[in-house]
Chain A
Amino acid sequence: MTGLRTHPLPKYLSIARVSAQEAIAYRFSTIVGVVTIFIWVLILYFLWQAAYAGTSSMAGYTWDDMRTYVVLAFGINAMVGWRVGYVMMATVRTGNVVIEYVRPLNYCLTQISRACGYCLVEGLVSLVMCLLVGITFVDIELPSSTASAFLFALSLVLGLLTKALFVFLVSLLAFWTVSGLGLMWMQQAVIQVFSGTIVPLSLMPDWLRSITSVLPLRGIVSTPLTFYLGKAEPLDAIGLLGMQVAWVVVLFVLANAAWRRAFDVAEIQGG
């Protein structure tokens, strides 16, 4: 009746597993969500193509680099999609958070596990889209070396954690405001700009770049792609990875503190 199991799964792994199943149950909207994001890839592709018409390189990015950047940036951003934030916010707003609260779980870790589960499915769809668009149409480059592929993978995982934590923090605002949808849109926009999804950091105006380069959100897209394209010297690489790790730790501590406070301040609604 229940498959053959001899031991219970570790609890957070089990949550991730069920979340992945949930994303599969909603495969249609998952796929639509990712595909929609790729419409942006096309728009930006043509914009950049026009911009590169008279020049071979901008701020160190060749046209080959830029094409690759555009596809992968949106591909990465699609990996932790809207569903995580949406679900987190919904549980807070409907008061269903109560149910998750009466479990021997760390709430923040629970949400991260959930994000990981969704990410598995959304990431797979996104990977397929990247390959599809990347190979048939945009002709993206491969990682510049084995080392950079490895750094990219490591940095990507840290970036996904960063994004999940950030989305979690924003979703906590749902304890205080009624406008969940507004928050979601705002969060989306902030992430796209400050992660470097729309424009690489080195092409930003100085004032914006100086802000963006110290914020955690660059770790979501910009940092992994810097590794992928082989644009980081070894010493820079250590600094960038160190910064990602530091931000994940800081955000985790912050998220836990904020969660406790949010839960204590805003009494749970209804019933």
Chain B
Amino acid sequence: MGAVITAEALTKRFRRPVKQAGLSGSLKHLVRPRYTEVTAVDEVDLSIEAGESVAYVGPNGAGKSTTIKLLCGIIVPSAGRVRVCDVEPHRHRSRNARNISVVFGQRTQLWWDIPVIESLRLIGDIYSVPAADYERNLAEMVDVLDLAPLLDVPVRQLSLGQRMRCDLAAALVHSPTVLFLDEPTIGLDVAVKAKLREFVGLMVRERGLTLMLTSHDLGDIEQLCPRLVMLHSGRVLYDGPYAELTRRFAWETKITSTLAAPPGGRPEEAAADILGVTRAELHDLTTLNVWFDMRVTTYGAVISGIVDRFAISDISVEEGDAEDVIRRLYSGDLKFSTEDVS
């Protein structure tokens, strides 16, 4: 059947009222309302295959939740095309609802004042899940998520972590094809996070669930999603393997060597001669920093170049892992540049 989720030039613009502060501002707005447009999702192209797990990341306000809402049919796109399981979500909302499930980390889909089991059963009824399937499915989830002690408790008496576990079970009662998780681990402790990830991973492997996950916790992504889509200001900046992110954005990396003795001559120039080195600096007489382009050379080649030229007592390399790259991208240390310089 090919792609489960496709988006072509998917765009969502919000109209936001411009109000000046104070009462007079409000009055002015009443008389002549003015709006600015915010493009929350900007010509996004996506294609996700059945059974894939995709992380959707980007800084606050990048447009992640908006994309999820578009894919769920909760909001109508301003432009572009979108299909989920061959259904246009906003046109055929009910049909789409049978194929998908969504968990918003900061909302619950369970009824606040009644025992969890009643909410789960209600959801089973809403999707007309046959009784036998319901029981089997529930038994598995209760087992893996350790829900047994929680089932008879009203949701309002649950802790956040307990509630999230129940919410996740609620999302899978009707065995959806696609699962959207919008910041599922927000505010959870390490142990609960681990349990949730394990559960989601299991569901993806066993049931062939297609997963799309937004999170600011890179642990979620690293464990669950081989593929990563990065969004910034509504645009897709990167779409590819998680592991490749480093190569794409952090191709310049650093080796720090401690020299056995202060070098004579011009150590910076000597180091810059090594193939692929982009610059070098000497600090405190014996600390030599060398930056190089990972796309044209390797750690090994650069290190052997340094050892050839200097007497070294210690050497350390900068860990250029994806987590570090994402952190540096968000903080502005690395640029969200889209041109590929290889």
B94 interface hit (Cβ, 8 Å) = yes
- Pick the interface stretch among A20-28, A39-47, A149-157: A20-28
CB of A103 within 8 A of CB of B100, answer no
CB of A25 within 8 A of CB of B114, answer yes
Residue of A nearest to B132 (CB): A6
- Given the known A-B contacts A104-B94, A271-B107, are A8 and B114 also in contact in the complex, defined by CB atoms under 8 Å? no
CB of A271 within 8 A of CB of B182, answer yes
In the complex, which range does the number of interface residues on chain B fall in?
35 or more
Please provide the chain A residues from 96 to 121 with a CB less than 8 Å away from any CB of chain B in the complex.
96, 98-99, 101-105
When distances are taken between beta carbons in the complex, the residues of chain B under 8 Å from A99 are 104, 107-109
A235 interface hit (Cβ, 8 Å) = no
- Given the known A-B contacts A98-B104, A271-B104, are A5 and B97 also in contact in the complex, defined by CB atoms under 8 Å? no
B121 interface hit (Cβ, 8 Å) = yes
- Given the known A-B contacts A7-B131, A18-B111, are A98 and B69 also in contact in the complex, defined by CB atoms under 8 Å? yes
- Pick the interface stretch among B122-130, B302-310, B330-338: B122-130
Please give the number of chain A residues whose Cβ is less than 8 angstroms from any Cβ of chain B in the complex. 31
When distances are taken between beta carbons in the complex, the residues of chain B under 8 Å from A104 are 94-95, 97-98, 126-127
CB of B151 within 8 A of CB of A1, answer yes
When distances are taken between beta carbons in the complex, the residues of chain A under 8 Å from B124 are 8
When distances are taken between beta carbons in the complex, the residues of chain A under 8 Å from B151 are 1
When distances are taken between beta carbons in the complex, the residues of chain A under 8 Å from B107 are 95-96, 98-99, 271
CB of A102 within 8 A of CB of B75, answer no
Residues 259-271 of A, flagged 1 when their CB comes within 8 A of B and 0 if not, give: 0000010011001
A36 interface hit (Cβ, 8 Å) = no
When distances are taken between beta carbons in the complex, the residues of chain B under 8 Å from A15 are 122, 126
B262 vs chain A, min Cβ distance (A): 57
B77 interface hit (Cβ, 8 Å) = no
Complex Cα distance, B138 from A172, in Å, reads 35
B273 interface hit (Cβ, 8 Å) = no
CB of A8 within 8 A of CB of B109, answer no
- Given the known A-B contacts A98-B74, A104-B94, are A11 and B119 also in contact in the complex, defined by CB atoms under 8 Å? no
A10 interface hit (Cβ, 8 Å) = yes
Residue of B nearest to A20 (CB): B114
A2 interface hit (Cβ, 8 Å) = yes
Complex Cα distance, B243 from A69, in Å, reads 76
Taking a contact as CB atoms closer than 8 A, the residue among A22, A102, A271 that contacts B72 in the complex is A102
B134 interface hit (Cβ, 8 Å) = yes
Residue of B nearest to A21 (CB): B114
When distances are taken between beta carbons in the complex, the residues of chain B under 8 Å from A21 are 114, 118
CB of B128 within 8 A of CB of A2, answer no
CB of B125 within 8 A of CB of A11, answer yes
Complex Cα distance, B124 from A5, in Å, reads 12
A14 interface hit (Cβ, 8 Å) = yes
Complex Cα distance, B102 from A118, in Å, reads 28
A9 interface hit (Cβ, 8 Å) = yes
CB of B126 within 8 A of CB of A5, answer no
- Given the known A-B contacts A14-B125, A98-B69, A264-B76, are A105 and B94 also in contact in the complex, defined by CB atoms under 8 Å? yes
When distances are taken between beta carbons in the complex, the residues of chain B under 8 Å from A5 are 131
When distances are taken between beta carbons in the complex, the residues of chain B under 8 Å from A22 are 111, 113-114
CB of B76 within 8 A of CB of A102, answer no
Taking a contact as CB atoms closer than 8 A, the residue among B114, B129, B135 that contacts A18 in the complex is B114
When distances are taken between beta carbons in the complex, the residues of chain A under 8 Å from B74 are 98, 101-102, 268
When distances are taken between beta carbons in the complex, the residues of chain B under 8 Å from A14 are 121-122, 125-126
Please provide the chain B residues from 55 to 102 with a CB less than 8 Å away from any CB of chain A in the complex.
65, 69, 72-76, 93-95, 97-98, 100-102
**Which of A5, A6, A17, A264 counts the most B-chain CB atoms under 10 A from its CB?**
A5
Residue of A nearest to B72 (CB): A102
A136 vs chain B, min Cβ distance (A): 33
B267 interface hit (Cβ, 8 Å) = no
Please provide the chain A residues from 180 to 233 with a CB less than 8 Å away from any CB of chain B in the complex.
none
When distances are taken between beta carbons in the complex, the residues of chain B under 8 Å from A2 are 117, 121, 135, 138
- Given the known A-B contacts A8-B124, A18-B114, are A271 and B65 also in contact in the complex, defined by CB atoms under 8 Å? yes
Residues 143-157 of B, flagged 1 when their CB comes within 8 A of A and 0 if not, give: 000000001001000
Residue of A nearest to B171 (CB): A102
B14 interface hit (Cβ, 8 Å) = yes
29 A-B pairs whose Cβ atoms sit less than 8 Å apart in the complex: A1-B117, A2-B135, A8-B128, A8-B131, A8-B134, A11-B126, A14-B125, A17-B122, A18-B119, A21-B118, A22-B111, A25-B114, A96-B107, A98-B69, A98-B74, A98-B107, A99-B104, A99-B107, A99-B108, A102-B73, A103-B97, A104-B94, A105-B94, A268-B69, A268-B74, A268-B75, A271-B104, A271-B106, A271-B182
Q: Ordered nearest first, which 9 A-B pairs have the shortest CB separation?
A: A14-B125, A104-B94, A25-B113, A104-B97, A11-B126, A9-B125, A99-B109, A8-B125, A21-B114
A residues at B contact (CB < 8 Å): 1-2, 5-11, 13-15, 17-18, 21-22, 25-26, 95-96, 98-99, 101-105, 264, 267-268, 271
A-B contacts besides A11-B126, A103-B97, 17 pairs, CB < 8 Å:
A7-B131, A15-B122, A17-B122, A18-B119, A22-B113, A95-B107, A99-B104, A99-B107, A102-B74, A102-B97, A102-B100, A103-B126, A104-B94, A104-B127, A105-B94, A105-B126, A271-B107
